[in-house]
Amino acid sequence: MTHTKINKPFGTWPSPITPELIGDSARFSDVQWAPGTDRLVWCQSLSGKTSLLTQSGLDAPYELSAGFSPSGGVGYGGGEFCAGLDGAVFAEKNGRLYFAPYGPGSPRPLTPVFGNSASPKLSPAQDRVLFVHTYEERDVLALVRLDGQSWPRVFASGADFYMQPTWSPDGKAVAWVEWDHPNMPWDGTRLMFALLDESGDTITEVHILDGDSITPTFQPEFSPDGSYLAYLRNRGEWDQLVLFDLQSGEKRILLDGLSLLPPAWVQGSRCIAWSTDSSTIYYLENKQAKVFLRKVDIFSGESQPVEVGAFTNLEQLSVSASGALALIAQSPSLPARILVLQDSQTRIAARSRADDLHPADLPLAQEVDWISSDGARVFGTYYAPANRKFSAEGLPPLVVYIHGGPTSVARIGFNLDTAFFTSRGYAYLEVNYRGSTGFGRSYRDALRGNWGKLDLQDAVEGARAVVGMGLADPSRLIIKGGSAGGYTVLNALIHYPGFFKAGLCSYGVSNLFTLDMDTHKFEAHYNASLIGSLPEAAQKYHDFSPIFHAHKIQDAIAVFQGADDKVVPQSQSDSIVEVLKAKRVPHVYRIYPGEGHGFRKSESIVDFYRTIERFLLQQVIFSV
């Protein structure tokens, strides 16, 4: 039965996707099988509270971390836990490691309170934990006994950063990824391989297995039978899956010419997983803004897809002792869920939210691309307005979304932020500007020395391309972004006054000089690659810093900031708002106490979207 839609102006449609609904949705960060069992452990966050949950077989899940908040504390976070045989080890927000038993008992501390921890990895004997630790700007790999009776000690040191430690099945070897300033992990890293003494506590030999200052490596994984070490590597334009034979020392490239490595912003990311019989490797392949699950036979090299239905964004592979595959999956119409695949059967172990939204109220993804004014092919994803009850005449206003990073990507998946706008009658364009991951190394590296230039060019020309396709109203363009995306928002309003009707800027970078001085260790040298080194590039820093040109802003802007942001401090937004006030530019400014780089609390999220809705109605929809 069809219903006639009500004709109502774009941007004014009543929507089922309320700020409260967005604020009450959970987020999954990881899922793992406990070794040798059918027990799942996963990490989920809701309204700023993170919990560790477990489920054995088909029993009801329960929480392991009651009273605690698992949170990887190195860099941007991630690597919250490791599922063990009898319990899970997790990094707490206070920096300590804890062991949470699956049976009776509360989590007990393994390490004292100092510094921060991430990526715990239990030894095969389940008696030791290898983990990444940071304290006073020094990062190390550390080792602690699971009984918690001994002081943790440094296992490996000397590099600026560590990631992804892993044990061989016999506990006699360890592999990890490390790198040094000024590199970011996607620029170049070293894959380290170490042999241990009889106690399993001390390194006797250590080798650089692969990687260098221009060759990134990622996620070493030993085969269950201990014969091989698999890992990902970027060499040239595309990525490779490499197999290292532990007996012969031979390296063999299993896969080549694919996009496999994600940008390593967080600890604990997993894109490959071994089958239990050590004959197959499951892997996630990026194809522009989508992610596909495939598997490769290590003997024949034959690769084939693994059926996961309509899901377009997949993360965190894990294989159980019985061969079941678990991962986090989502699509534009299906909220994130923990999916279990076994024997051609699919089971949902957990949902981030109910599947209660009507498909017609959710937007369809349309991949688009355009040729830039300097001849490059640029990529994006367009979402048309979608509401089963309302329609409108003419062309819709367009929100142009600029992702953060800038070395990141806007993937096609379930996105309530996108649906918030499209269900109200806005079109939405996600711009995967040059600098984004998943389109080849030269596409990503194009932003080196050009941050503030090419991201802005691609945002503006992307909006023009969509307008040229007849998909948006050129007089009602809005630009939106956070962090590096917020930086592009500010520059767009400065350098293209009147082009965008309004800007939505969340914790945006405004002063590159002070960002260089104030940001955290992980990104201490990021600006050098994106813009140039100081003092040689001082003029470029001045030219590309929004704060020195903010007096040119004339279009309405809403600014949002977390009071506790250590990546882009509040001073970055404060300084811009002072200029807006002095120039009497229409604006709103919201500061959220207790929030960092991104908003997690339900009350912050609700206010954020309520403010945006009112702001756009006033400044765009009803503006003359």
DSSP for 149-175, please give it. Answer: -S--EEEE-SSSEEEEEEE-TTSSEEE
CATH top class, domain 33-268 = mainly beta
**What residues pair up with 333 in beta bridges, in sequence order?**
none
pLDDT of residue 356: 87
Q: Domain locations in the chain?
A: 33-268, 270-356, 358-621
Burial class (CB in 10 A: 0-12, 13-18, 19+), 329: buried
Give tens-digit pLDDT for 415-429. 999 999 999 999 999
pLDDT band per the 50, 70, 90 thresholds, residue 562: very high
pLDDT band at 168 (very low <50, low <70, confident <90, very high): very high
Tokens of 349: 């172990």
Amino acid at residue number 373: S
* The domain made up of 358-621 is a member of CATH 3.40.50.1820: yes
Which spans in 89-157 are helix H?
none
Name which of 51, 562, 49 is nearest 41 in CA terms: 51
Q: Do domains 33-268 and 358-621 have the same CATH topology?
A: no
pLDDT at res. 449 = 93
In the structure, what pLDDT confidence band is assigned to residue 232 with cuts at 50, 70 and 90? Answer: very high
What mean pLDDT is predicted for residues 117-131?
Answer: 96
260-297 pLDDT, tens digit per residue, is: 999 999 999 999 999 999 999 999 999 989 999 999 99
Using CB atoms within 10 Å of the CB of residue 165, give its burial: 0 to 12 exposed, 13 to 18 middle, 19+ buried: buried
**Sequence-separated (6 or more) residues with CB below 8 Å from residue 340:** 40, 324, 325, 326, 346, 347, 348, 349
Are the CB atoms for 260 and 282 separated by under 8 Å? no
Q: Is the pLDDT of residue 516 over 60?
A: yes
- Tens digits of per-residue pLDDT, 522-543? 888 898 889 988 899 899 999 9
The confidence score (pLDDT) of residue 576 equals 96
**Is 117's pLDDT higher than 90?**
yes
Helix, coil or strand: residue 259: strand
pLDDT on residue 543: 93
Q: What is the model's pLDDT at position 76?
A: 87
- Structure confidence by residue, pLDDT tens digits, 9-63: 999 999 999 999 998 888 999 999 999 999 999 999 988 789 999 999 888 899 9
**Average pLDDT over all residues of the chain:** 94
Whether omega for the bond prior to residue 182 falls within 30 degrees of 0, making it cis, is yes
**pLDDT over 90, % of the chain:** 85
267 backbone dihedrals φ, ψ, rounded to 5°: -75, 160
| Reported confidence tier of residue 2, pLDDT bands at 50, 70, 90 | low
More confident: 425 or 2: 425
Interval 307-327 mean pLDDT: 95
Average pLDDT over residues 91-112: 94
- Nearest partner of 295 among 285, 231, 287, judged by Cα: 285
Mean pLDDT of 598-616: 94
Mean pLDDT to the nearest integer, 353-373: 93
Examine the pLDDT at 479 and tell me if it is beyond 60: yes
Say if residue 198's pLDDT is above 90.
no
- For residue 572, pLDDT over 70 is answered with yes
pLDDT tens per residue, range 425-454: 999 999 999 999 999 999 999 999 999 999
User: pLDDT-based confidence at 372, cuts 50/70/90?
Assistant: very high
Q: Span 80-108, mean pLDDT?
A: 94
**pLDDT at position 242 over 70:** yes
